[in-house]
Structure 1
Amino acid sequence: MRQISSREVYRNRWMSLREDRISHPDGSPGLYSVVDKPTAACVVPYEDGGFHLVEQYRYPLRRRSWEFVQGTWPGDGPPGEELARAELAEETGLRAASLTRLGRVAVAPGLTSQECDVFLATGLTRGPVDREHTEQEMEQRWVSRAEFEKLVRDGVVFDNTTLAAFTLFLLRSLAETS
């Protein structure tokens, strides 16, 4: 696929939307609409054999969603560990003694350029929560690993980044036991 032209259709401080005219490998024309967003961080807060989750209302889906901590800076803040620590403290009040990068996932590669770095947070201590105004109805709770897996099976945890992060967590756990 080859890009012929690109034009920005919309922009705000969190994302932009562009329309790209493309040429497919056989030469036929096409159009791609792409949401560009900065790299995000997803944090798997692991403690006492379980996970800290947050629940929030996801407007595009018109329902609430239980997830691992995740987010991005508005504009062009640095991705990586600094972002992960900031999101963890903001959404849960937790601070991590150790933050280990588990990998990177593509959020929705057919729609957006956004990728997400996944971190395992351990050695957790509590501090003040400092949520953004848009997170005012966010809830938090700790669940055992067995309960988390049941929430996944029951479709209560359905967020793709959370599911991908759990897969990376499992792969790390398997590697440590082999």
Structure 2
Amino acid sequence: MTHTYPVRSTKEQFRNNMFHIVTDEVEMSDGAVLARDYMVHVGAVGVVALDDEDRVVLVRQYRHPVRQFLWELPAGLIDVAGEGLAEAALRELTEEADLIAESVIHLIDIHPTPGCSNERIRLFLARSLTEVPVEEQHERHGEEIDIEVRRVPLAQAVQMIFRGEITNGAAVAGILAAANLVRLEE
């Protein structure tokens, strides 16, 4: 049985530049109409950047909702008009890790919290990395001021996931996907 879950009405509850919260009245398969609150997200990209030694570039950044610093991939919002997803990922790599990549390919897409958000994160694999000259580096603000950038051997990053040291969903998915891809290339 395929039910389409038609939306009978939508009411916006809150809006900012990253997301808005809406309440949909949705018809269930039994005919009942129920309210469903969720976040409509602008979308995001992330990049698994591997250097020539198969070290992955991680950024450690403060995340206020969980009140801690997390190891993550360079990542960010799709918030520049007309910018393609791969270009957004490369921009984030430059802004957060001061790196430029010559090669970028689509790796995977994830829905990190589909029970409460429509957010989709497209993850890319970047290789052939070079440093951004100091005079051209992005000026960081807010939590980005305290970003720590580290290159970690890919196998060690996988171990960090299983030790609970990397818990960011996009980082977990991207690192495991990249490790699988590298293994398949060998």
CA distance in 1, matches of 2:38, 2:83: 22
Q: Which residue of 2 aligns with 1:42?
A: 46
> CA 1:3–1:131 in structure 2 vs 1: closer, same or farther (change >3 Å)?
farther
Percent sequence identity over matched residues?
27
Q: Which residue of 2 aligns with 1:52?
A: 57
Q: How far is 1:171 from its partner?
A: 3.5
CA distance in 1, matches of 2:181, 2:56: 15
Letter in 1 for 2:6: R
Letter in 2 for 1:51: V
Q: Does 1:158 align with 2:163?
A: no
Under a length normalisation based on structure 1, what TM-score does the superposition of the two structures give?
0.91
Q: Does 1:64 align with 2:33?
A: no
**CA offsets per residue over residues 68-95 of structure 1, 9 Å max, x none?**
1111144755341110111000000000
**8 Å CA contact retained: 2:46, 2:170:** yes
Letter in 1 for 2:177: L
CA distance in 1, matches of 2:25, 2:185: 46
Question: What do you get for the CA RMSD once the two structures are aligned?
Answer: 1.7
CA distance in 2, matches of 1:16, 1:102: 27
**8 Å CA contact retained: 1:40, 1:79:** no
Aligned length: 177
Q: Which residue of 2 aligns with 1:31?
A: 35
CA distance in 2, matches of 1:75, 1:13: 12
**CA offsets per residue over residues 13-50 of structure 1, 9 Å max, x none?**
11111111111111122111111112211100101121
> CA 1:176–1:81 in structure 2 vs 1: closer, same or farther (change >3 Å)?
same
> Which segments of 5 or more consecutive residues in structure 2 lack a partner in the other structure?
none
CA distance in 2, matches of 1:79, 1:112: 22
Q: Does 1:130 align with 2:113?
A: no
**8 Å CA contact retained: 1:38, 1:75:** no
Alignment match of 1:89 (pick from 94, 103, 106): 94
CA distance in 2, matches of 1:139, 1:96: 19
Alignment match of 2:152 (pick from 137, 143, 156): 143
> CA 1:167–1:35 in structure 2 vs 1: closer, same or farther (change >3 Å)?
same
| Structure 1 segments (4+ residues) deviating >4 Å | none
> CA 1:26–1:131 in structure 2 vs 1: closer, same or farther (change >3 Å)?
farther
CA distance in 2, matches of 1:141, 1:12: 32
CA distance in 2, matches of 1:132, 1:110: 32
Q: Which residue of 1 aligns with 2:116?
A: 111
Letter in 2 for 1:57: Y
> Which segments of 5 or more consecutive residues in structure 1 lack a partner in the other structure?
none
CA distance in 1, matches of 2:145, 2:84: 24
Q: How far is 1:106 from its partner?
A: 1.2
Q: How far is 1:165 from its partner?
A: 1.1
CA distance in 1, matches of 2:156, 2:183: 20
**8 Å CA contact retained: 2:78, 2:85:** no
CA distance in 2, matches of 1:75, 1:113: 19
